[in-house]
Chain A
């Protein structure tokens, strides 16, 4: 038996993740050929590396098929209902920063806050006969945020990519998407609402509550926590 640690299987996120663990004395590496998703852990006993698509890590955590996992805090909140029942945040890792924001056309000089968005949505619906469309792939987070802030007369339109282009293409009037610098938003004629930050996301190390934790696994976790400089489990 060993503690399964799920990390992103490729790209910059994987490299930063390896660096984060490496600088704390836990060396993660891919083994075998470039194309093979197998990994090794040096510096601590009893931890097994599982390379996964970053987007699947929340699901694996929720199902308890991995004990630990690194993924964006936004993905865990979006994909796992009642996420706090299923996962514990062990450490924010300081990279992979991305903000989930509500953005509208820069040309909307009258809209700078959610209050404005709500009023504009009411007028839009009266004029066009349908609810103002907001394109996003973060349905749960966006809906909860807009409900909490009392925005009405909108509808969410699913957009799995190139979301910033939906306004120009007239398939949506506004968007809710992740941005790190705002560059793509600006290039597409969009601006972020002053109070439109839904969630400031970063790569985070999570533990799965529903995984099977044997005595030995718990000991390994406590060792890993100590090595990583995290407080021991309460």
Chain B
């Protein structure tokens, strides 16, 4: 699929806007080492990115986005605060929808600034929104940080909280885990038999493979502890559900979150950050009364956003993918920086979709 001249012009217009906002233009290799991306995203990325091989460099991937190379580049440069912009092709396999392009442009704006995260969140959102002004788009926001804090504050074992935190991005599995921890799911007979056995290893097959007897014994012990732990209360479950299903314009969402936080104090600091961000967005001139917050927004995206998340969807074309999306990814920088984390937030726009929407409007 050839990228049109109009889309290239739009990408150039966007990067010019971002440069005017203080961003430094950067480039990234199209061929990226596959192991870093695979380790970060897991098998799912194989279904979504093109993998190829080189006899000397091993497995390589056609870049599925710019985030990882830009973070790596920033970690080497180490200058802060920093703002970057880029535009170029990204490549995504489409396993089920043949009508979607596998090669398209992304124009992005990324901010690395640990001084004032709320202001940086607002800045990225406002820059992206400004660049898209006049298009028939609906914006939505979410906050993975509030969800993570809610999970961390549950009155239950650390193991259960870790299991839930791991699956924030897989809503179905998250729900199944909650059902189990609330005692709503019957214990599978094999599990009951294992826990009742005097010697869980009686009759076990030959020990083969890397996963050793000690690891198996450790998990049996963990299962025993879990079986002995009291179920998660219905009250806590209800509060978590209220949080996940919350949908309101930002100022109303803040009121609702503050109410939930009274009985769920663990989310207090995250709600305070939400309030700061709200103020920063207002200061930037964003019409926050018309900007929606959705408790579950961003849960089905790639699992690297861990704070503020946002997306811009075409109002009259729900069939189109989001025209722009972004969020905060502090944890990703910690993984890529081998322990050294840098607060980071960014967003990308798809120039082809902008051109298409303008054409529809004309």
Q: Which residues of A contact B (CB under 8 A)?
A: 81-82, 85, 105-110, 112-113, 115, 118-120, 122-124, 127-128, 130-132, 139-140, 143-144, 146-147, 149-156, 167-168, 170, 172-173, 188-189, 191, 194
Contact = CB atoms under 8 A, between A and B. Distances in A.
A173 B211 contact: yes
Contacts of A130: 39
Given A112-B190, A128-B210, A168-B208, 8 more contacts: A81-B96, A107-B204, A107-B208, A107-B216, A109-B194, A124-B211, A147-B43, A170-B209
Interface stretch (B14-22, B137-145, B163-171, B340-348): B163-171
B200 interface: yes
Contact of A173 (B43, B176, B190, B210): B210
Interface string B179-194: 0100000001011001
Contacts, number: 114
A81 B94 CA distance: 9
B215 A82 contact: no
A131 B45 CA distance: 14
> How many interface residues does chain B have, given as a range?
35 or more
A113 B188 contact: yes
Given A109-B200, A127-B215, A143 B209 contact: no
Contact of B216 (A85, A109, A112): A109
Contacts of B38: 155
A170 B223 contact: no
Given A147-B44, A150-B176, A120 B209 contact: no
Contact of A112 (B170, B180, B188): B188
B208 A143 contact: no
A155 B219 CA distance: 21
7 contacts: A81-B95, A85-B98, A105-B206, A107-B213, A112-B194, A150-B167, A170-B209
A111 B348 CA distance: 41
A168 B180 CA distance: 33
B260 to A, nearest CB: 26
Contact of B163 (A119, A124, A140, A144): A119
Nearest to B223: A110
A110 B209 contact: no
Contacts of A82: 95-96, 98
